[in-house]
């Protein structure tokens, strides 16, 4: 998530906060802002773009010296990345300032309620509602800010970290946490709040990790932690012994490893706010009517690289749930083959950055042909969402590592949501059937965490195979895109030959590549449900094993039929076949990362690659 810094002490609060925000720049952001308390007055400054823009503004219009303040670097979720939507947000009286990470699911209801009581909200964000709720809860300074924060938190739904200041309480900063990180830095005569220890590690290495549903008040002389009901809160104190570089990575060797571990939370965040009060699916910005969607007779997914593999998974789900023909095209090839598009064609364009030039040009070509366009994107306010008829944002947060991990899995979830939404509108699935799939999706983050907790055998395997010259990946159904993604990660990071194949195509040529000792990694479908997929995959395992391959099998818990044909079995929890890529991809990400590390390569910055490809 984005960067949060809060400070109370004897130093220049502005200097501490700006320094902290700079140390959090690695997270990625699209605007920055600060709020300072001086002489009983609240002052704010915020600016779209990089931190340098905010610093230039502060140089032009200096703030009064302050020893209490908060700061934020924003990654847009609700509202475009501009000056008006940048944090902090203030209330009607200008006495409360709030910064926020996360998503407040019921903000539309809260906003309407506040406006009916005469509040004037000036931004497009979900955060601003909190500032006005705190304005009401503090009752002009009669109620303490921490008490007000506890009352407001009971009204909020979703995931959030909130940090607030109030002009009537100039010696305190108050924070709250639910499903989003917030840590306290303990100093001598000063204390800190931050979304990451990197923000305050230059000042103190003594930290307190807040628990779920807790409110914290930091002052010069101490820290008070309670739960949302005001009861004393349990906290975990620890000493940070990382250097600054490691602190930015949360103690991980690489950003990629950190982002792999963030995937359960990213998937959970992408699911937030997707059901309305009637338990019907909603998308972020749907500018297509239900009648428009009912007229669709063909869907084409366009994407590049890892996003293309997410589109291949989408094809299986969308066709199964909607019965609409679905094609998947490499965006770099799409417009050059003169595709047949009509007003009844829906283009689903997938891009983490929203600026991928190949995909953007394909999108524009589709618009010229009068096709409808829905964008799946992780970057609010980027070009592709602006030029589309509908948008579904993934909420993966910034990705620093070039090789996409959490971006990929959240794109798959977004594709599932598009398929279910279309099924809902077109009536191809009953409400209870859609609810069952949504429930299965909501259960996935916990299952993903189980996979992450048991990956040491995968790391050992990667180190053991570091000298291999080639690795092959096999899959059927949604396991085929998983095989392609596993091979791509190994190419990107380990700079070695790797290929992903549809397992049924083995006998049509690729089996000639199998020789003694060649590692073959397979994702085996569940034996439950469509067991024919499982049985066919086991047959493929027998084929390659008979020719001397070293077989590494990803199989769900309880599947013992693969064991006679596997040199190594990697277990994942049971799940519906269509959702299995959310689990089976994770070991392949870790395998590629560990293989690259063992071969001495830079995992976060692989050679010749860029995070966002902005040229054709």
Q: What amino acid positions are annotated as catalytic residues?
A: 2, 611
Distance separating alpha carbons of residues 588 and 58, to the nearest angstrom: 46
306: its two tokens: 């890892």
Residue with tokens 């992450």: 452
Kindly give the residue spans of alpha helices, DSSP state H, lying in 427-478.
Answer: 431-452, 456-464
CB 266 within 8 A of CB 412: no
2: its two tokens: 């984005």
C-alpha 593 chain-centroid distance: 19
Kindly give the residue spans of alpha helices, DSSP state H, lying in 207-350.
Answer: 244-248, 255-261, 263-271, 290-294, 305-322, 331-334
φ, ψ (nearest 5 deg) of residue 302:
-120, 135
Of the candidates 523, 524, 521, which has an alpha carbon nearest to the alpha carbon of residue 490?
Answer: 521
Angle at 535 between CA 529 and CA 539, to 5 degrees: 165
CB 390 within 8 A of CB 286: yes
Q: Is the peptide bond before 269 cis (omega within 30 degrees of 0)?
A: no
Question: What b/e string do you get for 572-609 counting C-beta neighbours within 10 Å, with b at 16 or more?
Answer: bbebebbbbbbbbbbbbbbbbbbbbbbeebebbbbeee
Which residues make Cβ contacts (< 8 Å) with residue 608, sequence separation at least 6? none
Of the candidates 193, 189, 196, which has an alpha carbon nearest to the alpha carbon of residue 146?
Answer: 193
φ, ψ (nearest 5 deg) of residue 304:
-130, 150
Identify any residues that bridge with 444 across adjacent strands, giving them in sequence order: none
Residue with tokens 């990790």: 209
C-alpha 216 chain-centroid distance: 26
Which residues make Cβ contacts (< 8 Å) with residue 281, sequence separation at least 6? 274, 275, 417, 420, 421, 424, 434, 438
DSSP state of 9: S
């Amino acid at each position: 998530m984005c960067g949060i810094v809060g400070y109370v002490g004897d130093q220049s609060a502005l200097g501490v906060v700006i320094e902290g925000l700079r140390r959090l720049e690695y997270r990625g952001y699209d605007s920055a802002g600060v709020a300072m308390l001086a002489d009983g007055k609240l002052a704010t400054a915020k600016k779209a773009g990089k931190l340098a823009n905010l610093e230039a503004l502060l140089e032009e219009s200096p703030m009064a010296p302050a020893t209490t303040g908060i700061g934020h670097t924003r990654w847009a979720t609700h509202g475009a990345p501009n000056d008006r939507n940048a944090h902090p947000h203030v209330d009607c009286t200008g006495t409360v300032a709030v910064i926020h990470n996360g998503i407040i699911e019921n903000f539309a209801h809260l906003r309407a309620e506040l406006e009916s009581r005469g509040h004037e909200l000036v931004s497009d964000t979900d955060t601003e509602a909190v500032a006005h709720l705190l304005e009401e809860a503090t009752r002009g300074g009669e109620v303490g800010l921490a008490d007000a924060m506890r009352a407001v938190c009971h009204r909020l739904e979703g995931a959030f970290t909130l940090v607030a200041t109030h002009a009537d309480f100039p010696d305190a900063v108050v924070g709250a946490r639910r499903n989003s990180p917030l840590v306290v830095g303990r100093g001598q005569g000063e204390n800190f709040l931050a979304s990451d220890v990197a923000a305050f590690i230059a000042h103190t290495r003594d930290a307190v990790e807040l628990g779920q549903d807790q409110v914290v008040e930091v002052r010069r002389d101490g820290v008070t932690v309670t739960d949302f009901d005001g009861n004393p809160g349990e906290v975990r104190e620890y000493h940070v012994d990382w250097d600054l570089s490691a602190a930015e990575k949360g103690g991980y060797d690489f950003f990629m490893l950190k982002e792999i571990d963030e995937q359960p939370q990213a998937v959970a965040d992408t699911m937030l706010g997707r059901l309305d009060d009637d338990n019907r699916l909603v998308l972020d910005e749907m500018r297509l009517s239900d009648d428009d969607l009912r007229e669709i007779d063909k869907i084409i997914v366009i994407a590049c690289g890892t996003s293309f593999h997410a589109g291949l998974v989408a094809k299986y789900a969308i066709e199964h749930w909607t019965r609409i023909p679905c094609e998947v095209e490499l965006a770099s090839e799409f417009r050059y083959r003169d595709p047949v598009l009509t007003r009844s064609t829906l283009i689903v364009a997938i891009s983490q950055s929203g600026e991928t030039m190949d995909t953007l040009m394909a999108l524009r070509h589709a618009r010229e042909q009068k096709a409808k366009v829905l964008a799946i994107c992780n970057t609010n306010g980027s070009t592709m969402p602006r030029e589309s008829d509908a948008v579904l944002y993934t909420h993966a947060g910034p990705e620093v590592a070039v090789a996409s991990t959490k971006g990929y899995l959240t794109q798959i979830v977004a594709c599932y949501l598009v398929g279910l939404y279309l099924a809902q509108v077109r009536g191809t699935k009953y409400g209870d059937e859609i609810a069952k799939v949504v429930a299965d999706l909501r259960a996935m983050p916990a299952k993903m965490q189980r996979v992450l907790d048991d990956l040491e055998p995968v790391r050992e395997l990667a180190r053991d195979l570091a000298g291999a010259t080639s690795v092959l990946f096999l899959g059927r159904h949604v396991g085929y895109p998983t095989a392609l993604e596993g091979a791509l990660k190994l190419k990107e990071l380990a700079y070695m030959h790797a290929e992903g194949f549809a397992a049924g195509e083995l006998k049509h040529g690729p089996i000639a590549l199998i020789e003694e000792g060649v590692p073959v990694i397979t994702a085996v479908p569940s034996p439950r449900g469509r067991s024919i997929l499982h049985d066919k995959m086991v047959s493929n395992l027998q084929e390659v094993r008979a020719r001397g391959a070293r077989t590494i099998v990803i199989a769900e818990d309880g599947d013992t039929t693969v064991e006679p044909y596997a040199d190594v079995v990697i277990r994942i929890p049971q799940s519906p076949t269509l959702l299995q890529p959310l689990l089976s991809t994770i070991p392949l990400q870790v395998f590629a990362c560990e293989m690259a590390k063992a071969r001495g390569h830079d995992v976060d910055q692989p050679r010749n690659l860029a995070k966002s490809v902005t040229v054709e």
